Amino acid sequence: MKIIMLGAPGAGKGTQAKKIAAKYDIPHISTGDIFRANIKNGTELGNKAKTYMDQGLLVPDELVVDLVVDRVQQDDCKNGYVLDGFPRTIPQAEALDKALAALGDKVDYAIDVNVPDENIVNRMGGRRACVGCGATYHLVYAPTKTEGICDVCGKELILRDDDKPETVQKRLNVYHEQTQPLIDYYTKAGILKTVDGTVDINDVFAAIVEILGA
């Protein structure tokens, strides 16, 4: 069961990817984790990626695809995997399909966790982080016992720049430009499945399980 997770920043696709990985006993793979593991282990691909990252440059698609394909050929992926945060663009998706086809492999499902922009802006705008220990809360979904004060260490909470409405909207605009076309790409491939990401986390997961089959 090879799955790609799609969805805007803040849609909750990472949370669902972890739940899928736990239920079906398959690895949850994010490109960030792959980069870190390869750099830490000093692999050839990791060293190449590091030279770009050290210069503050984006790692080229070709190298990212090589890293992902290398990862999905490892033993723990023999029953499948969940790819989270990759591919982000059509060229990446095409390169991944081509590389997997060369191995006689393919993606089974692309699952889009669909949440309207307005919901995401509200959801992320309600996040608060502790200046002391870094614990995160939400004004609506996970409030602190005392307003504006961390339950763990008692320091004050702030709205991070990343979660400010104007920043969130910018990230969403980039997502729609670059990643939204993947929805059409995987629809044409006949593997796209869409779930409503505005409902409770467990209900979103139940919908995904129904698609994948227990």
Is residue 133 scored above 90 in pLDDT?
yes
Query: Can you name the CATH fold of 1-115+164-210?
Result: Rossmann fold (3.40.50)
Mean pLDDT in residue range 50-70: 90
Q: How confident is the model at residue 21, as a pLDDT?
A: 96
Annotated binding site for AMP: 31, 36, 57-59, 85-88, 92, 160, 171
Predicted confidence band at 10 (pLDDT cuts at 50, 70, 90)?
Answer: confident
Contact 131, 157 (CB under 8 A): yes
Annotated binding site for ATP: 10-15, 127, 136-137, 199
Is residue 32 scored above 90 in pLDDT?
no
* Of the candidates 121, 118, 155, the residue with the CA atom closest to the CA atom of residue 136: 155
Say how far apart CA 40 and CA 19 lie, in whole Å. Answer: 26
Catalytic (active-site) positions: 13, 88, 127, 160, 171
Predicted confidence band at 162 (pLDDT cuts at 50, 70, 90)?
Answer: confident
Say how far apart CA 140 and CA 64 lie, in whole Å. Answer: 37
Q: How confident is the model at residue 214, as a pLDDT?
A: 63
Say how far apart CA 159 and CA 129 lie, in whole Å. Answer: 6
Mean pLDDT in residue range 15-37: 92
What is the dihedral sign for C-alpha 70, 76, 80, 82? negative
Q: How confident is the model at residue 58, as a pLDDT?
A: 82
Q: How confident is the model at residue 114, as a pLDDT?
A: 95
Q: How confident is the model at residue 145, as a pLDDT?
A: 95
What is the dihedral sign for C-alpha 21, 22, 27, 28? positive
Annotated binding site: 10-15, 31, 36, 57-59, 85-88, 92, 127, 130, 133, 136-137, 150, 153, 160, 171, 199
What are the sequence ranges of the domains in the chain? 1-115+164-210
| pLDDT tens digit sequence for 66-123 | 999 999 999 999 999 999 989 989 999 999 999 999 999 999 999 999 999 999 998 8
Q: How confident is the model at residue 186, as a pLDDT?
A: 97
Predicted confidence band at 9 (pLDDT cuts at 50, 70, 90)?
Answer: confident
Q: How confident is the model at residue 31, as a pLDDT?
A: 85
pTM, whole model, 2 decimals?
0.84
- The identity of residue 177, as a single letter, is E
Q: CB-hemisphere CA count at 13 Å for 88? A: 17
Q: How confident is the model at residue 33, as a pLDDT?
A: 86
